[in-house]
Chain A
Amino acid sequence: MSAGGWSLRRRLLVAIGGAALLGWCASSFWLYSEAIAETDRGFDVALDHAAHAVLALVANETRELRDAESGKGIELAQIDHLHGDPIVYQVRGPGGGIAYRSPGAPVEPLAHRDDRGFAFARADDRGFRVDTLATEDGAATIHVAQPLDERDAVANAVALKLLAPGAALLVVLALTIGWTVRAAAEPLIRYSRDLDRLAPAQSKPVDSTGLPDELQPVARAIDRLLVRVSDALLHERTLTADAAHELRTPLAALRLQAQVARRSTDARERDDALNELLAGTDRAARLVDSVLTLARYDAGRDLTLDGEPIEIAQLAHHVALEFKARAAQRGLTLELAAAANTWLTGDQDALGVALRNLIDNALRFARSRIRIEADAHGAGIHLAVLDDGPGMPPQVAGRAFDRFFRGEEQNSQRGPGAGLGLALVRRVAELHWGEVLLVDGIDGGCGVKLQLPVMLRTQQSKVTAR
């Protein structure tokens, strides 16, 4: 577990355990005080009873009190008490002197004569609870007292008996939490171990039985992610294999052409072979360029997608000019139908590459005309290249934008392409959050249209951030 985070087990233990402990402390404090107060009340009641009993005894003896109070007090019988130390008492005569006292009662008066009722007192280094009563005529005052340590011991014993089950409960609770969390974490640990052991291109769902219900959606999401990742990986591998094959073929051809040239004894044959070799080298170079450009666009490198707006019509105009000579050489008319206000925020070079590829394709198939159309359309810019060639056969149309897929070369007026042109166009469209589609060309010919949304720059940066 990282230093930043707490394990689930620790969180639960601390949260639930802490709450339980706090609750237990609070309830214990309350129970303890209640127990102490309750025992105190009980003791006080008992003390009061004892005091009234003593008072009843001395009420008829007031005369003798006067005689007895001069001394240190005569010890009388002690009052039995259930718990340990007995209750002590002092009986004071009308003069205030102690006439009688119980054995073990302090010699000094435990309270002031006039302080009737309950009070706390200290005598002989002991604390006492004192109940002071007086006869109606005031001739006799009695202090009945109970040592506090005695009362406290009893109160504590009672309180502890009340608290013990709570403490036991706390221990049981802590153990239960620990065990439950451990049991709940066990499948998680197993699950993550299974994830760790996965092969890179694994797309089968990972066994999530035993995971808590709350985590099942996560497991499902991971399964879906695995499928996506393995799909992407497979796609990547196919592409790599295709690219390897496509790069190897022209090299193998170059080698053959070179060998044919070296072996030929006839000057014309050698010239032909050398020309083939040169043309083959150019083709291989174009292929490598396309592969590299595509790789760059795949990685999204070297692109300025949120720079200054560019006018698509203007771009189309420039690119069309580049192709004018080549089109004328082939006896083809290159038309440009560009509307005003075709501003778009995007990468000028990438859009130029896309357009060049489209015109290049059209040059390959057109019979007499190529038309480039650029216009603003609702929330987007449409850029299309149309030709009047034989059109794209349906079986080719479905795969036209796939990498390394070549259409029927027989229909082509020129040599074969690399099979990357339209794939590049699609990638450029995707990079501009647009799409590319096949449309009808001129007179049954083929057309390819880029639909590029015009987005506010803030929207774009959001999309980029995603």
Chain B
Amino acid sequence: MPADFIPSTQDLLRLLPEAVLVAAGTIGLVLEPLLRDSRKRVTGVFSLAGLIVALWAVVVSRAYPGTAFRNMIVVDGFATFFRTLVIAVGILTVILSLHYIQRERPESGEFYPLLVFSVAGQCLMAVGNELIVIFIGLEISSIASYILAGYLRDDPRSNESGLKYFLLGSFATAFFLYGVAWIYGATGTTNLREIGDIIAKPEIRPPLVIVGTSAALMLVGLAFKVAAAPFQIWAADVYQGAPAPVTAFLAAGPKAAAFAVMVRILMVAFDPIGAAWEPLLWIVALATMTIGNFAALVQDNIKRLLAYSSIAHAGYVLVAVTAHSDAGSAAVMFYLAAYAFMNVGAFAVVTHVARAGERRLSLSDFAGLARREPAVAGLFTIFLLSLIGIPLTGGFFGKFYIFKAALESRLYLLTILGLLNSAVAAYYYLRVLVAMYFHEPAAGTVEAMPVTPGVSFVLWFSAGATLLLGIFPTLVLQFADQGASLALVR
């Protein structure tokens, strides 16, 4: 073997965003104890700067497409798309949290570096071309998220959320890892492309039952991470108990990265045995949508309602994964981008309305919001309409591309059931809208409170992005299309 231990400059540039993020996170954590209690917010500003530099690094590394570190990672359109998405979600979450953390736990500043680490893990998942790298990315992202979910450690709700996320997340990771071990045993490699090549050749292919079992084990692990049925139980509790900005992050960032991994593993490594996993995903997609939507109908807590809605949305994305085509992958990417913005926006509203200690989370707390705070109510309306999938919003085109891809792959029944599901979903979003516009506020309701600049920025930015995706979807779709076809290059 030639002695080329020193990676080339191109290799390093391809990993630049992750390097920037890990450096920013590490420096942030070192900086934190040096700051006086009143100045802990500095780590937030520092992390924000780190994330913005990482976004620039994504653009830099985009100029060097290809694999690096002996095929360990691959920079392609697919990876660039998801890197951009998770970093954008990270930036919005930091801005959303600046005031919140200051209010709820002012004496600590490690929130932001942990968030940056989580984003670094998600970036690594997006570029991982090899199961061990993907595993490490998944764990960096997850371990940091466990702490974030339980960040308000004196609040029983928050640490219960962290505990449940930790237990079920690690449980799922073990399944994923067992699948990796078996595929390593069966094919002798953990490189996705090599696995795909070996499985594609009938003469050297290991027994289908072993390959199928390892694929199933990995899918179980990933289904946990994206909260797909029948492994969705944890999501409602975790999303409800975590601090609102963290919930916004969890439902957008880690979920998008886990879907990126799922699509890459299925489309590259297990592409040849598509006939085996498509029916399985068909059932999972339908069950996820249905369970999410019907459970959301009876929720009275807004965070829990949005948590079930998040499960339902994962179901729609799984429909696009089931389509098993370029168009399907592009729809996955577009939908996750659209969902990220409307979800972060909706949780920004929740952050604002819930107020100190997150005491005001029931649907009745939203009664009369339109009269009290018309701007907030108006922006929330945009997010809710987008979550329903009304035209002129990102959610509409997301659903449109998903069901279009599903129809192209002849998933007629699944498309019909998916559309029926969307109709059911409209009911519980409209309940929130009706409460905001037509219900009288409960007696003793506190007066309107000014929106903090951070929340206000996130609200307007997310609303702008949601409308932009709804009016000019091709802006993002063309990136998704390029990325999707690159992911499938064999």
Q: Do A and B make up one complex?
A: no
